Chain A
Amino acid sequence: MTHPILPAPFADLAPLAAHWARPSENERSEIRWSASPAEFKALYEAMMPRLDDILRLLSDHPASGMPEEVHDLFLLACAFAEASPHHELYGGSSAVPYSFDARRFVRTDGDAAL
Chain B
Amino acid sequence: MMTTGITAEDLAHISRSSEDIRAELGVDPVSVRAISDPAIYELEREKIFRKTWLKVATSWELPNVGDYKVKELPVADASVLIVRGKDGQIRAFHNVCTHRGNKVVPTTGFETFGRSRANVVTCRFHGWVFSTDGPLRSVPMKEKFGKLDTACLGLREIHCDIWEGFVFINFDAEPAQSLTEYLGDFGKLFGGYPYAESTTAFRYSTVLNCNWKVAHYAFSEGYHVPTIHAGSLPGFKGVDHTDFKLMGPHASSTIYGAGMDTAPSTLAFASMLSTTERHRPRPDQLPPAINPERRADFQFELPNLFPNFIIHLASGCGYPGMSFFTHQFWPLDHGRTLWEGINYFRPAQTAAEQVAQQHVNALHRNAWLEDTATMEDTFTGIMSGSIDEMQLMDQEFLIRHAARTLDTFLAA
Query: Hey, which bits of chain A sit against chain B, CB under 8 A?
Result: 25, 44, 48, 51-52, 55-63, 66, 70, 74, 77-78, 80-82, 84-85, 88-90, 96-100, 102, 104-109, 114
Contacts and interface: CB of A to CB of B under 8 A. Distances in A.
Given A96-B370, A100-B370, A107-B203, 5 more contacts: A78-B355, A98-B370, A99-B373, A107-B204, A108-B111
14 contacts: A52-B268, A57-B352, A59-B351, A78-B354, A84-B359, A85-B266, A89-B232, A99-B370, A100-B368, A100-B369, A108-B205, A108-B340, A109-B202, A114-B354
Given A58-B351, A89-B234, A100 B362 contact: no
Interface string B347-366: 11111111110110011011
Contact of B369 (A48, A62, A102): A102
Interface of A is mostly: helix
B265 interface: yes
B231 interface: yes
Interface of B: 109-111, 201-207, 228, 231-232, 234, 263-266, 268-269, 272, 340, 347-356, 358-359, 362-363, 365-366, 368-373, 375
Given A52-B268, A98-B373, A99-B370, A89 B358 contact: no
B366 A96 contact: yes
Given A55-B272, A55-B355, A114-B354, A96 B369 contact: yes
B352 A80 contact: no
Contacts of B356: 55, 81
Q: Sorted from nearest, which 6 A-B pairs have the closest CB atoms?
A: A81-B359, A58-B352, A84-B265, A99-B369, A100-B372, A88-B263
Nearest to A79: B358
A25 to B, nearest CB: 8
B353 to A, nearest CB: 7
A58 B358 CA distance: 14
B394 to A, nearest CB: 26
Nearest to B358: A81
Contact of B365 (A60, A63, A97, A105): A105
Given A77-B355, A107-B203, A63 B347 contact: yes
A96 B231 contact: yes
B231 A62 contact: no
Contacts of B352: 55-59, 61
A85 B206 contact: no
B264 A85 contact: no
Contacts of B268: 51-52, 55
A38 to B, nearest CB: 18
Contact of B351 (A51, A62, A104, A105): A62
Given A77-B355, A82-B362, A60 B350 contact: yes
Contacts of A96: 231-232, 366, 369-370
A51 B352 CA distance: 10
B214 to A, nearest CB: 13
Contacts of A62: 349-351
B358 A82 contact: yes
B347 A105 contact: no
A50 to B, nearest CB: 11
Contacts of A61: 350-352
B268 to A, nearest CB: 5
A105 B207 CA distance: 8
A99 B230 CA distance: 11
A104 B376 CA distance: 13
Contact of A74 (B266, B355, B373): B355
B329 to A, nearest CB: 15
A97 B99 CA distance: 53
Nearest to A75: B355
A105 B362 contact: no
A90 to B, nearest CB: 6
B68 to A, nearest CB: 15
Contacts of A81: 265, 269, 355-356, 358-359, 362
Residue of B109, B268, B351, B375 most packed against chain A (CB within 10 A): B351
A105 B204 contact: yes
A103 B340 CA distance: 15
Contacts of A56: 352
Contact of A48 (B204, B265, B347, B362): B265
A99 B353 CA distance: 28
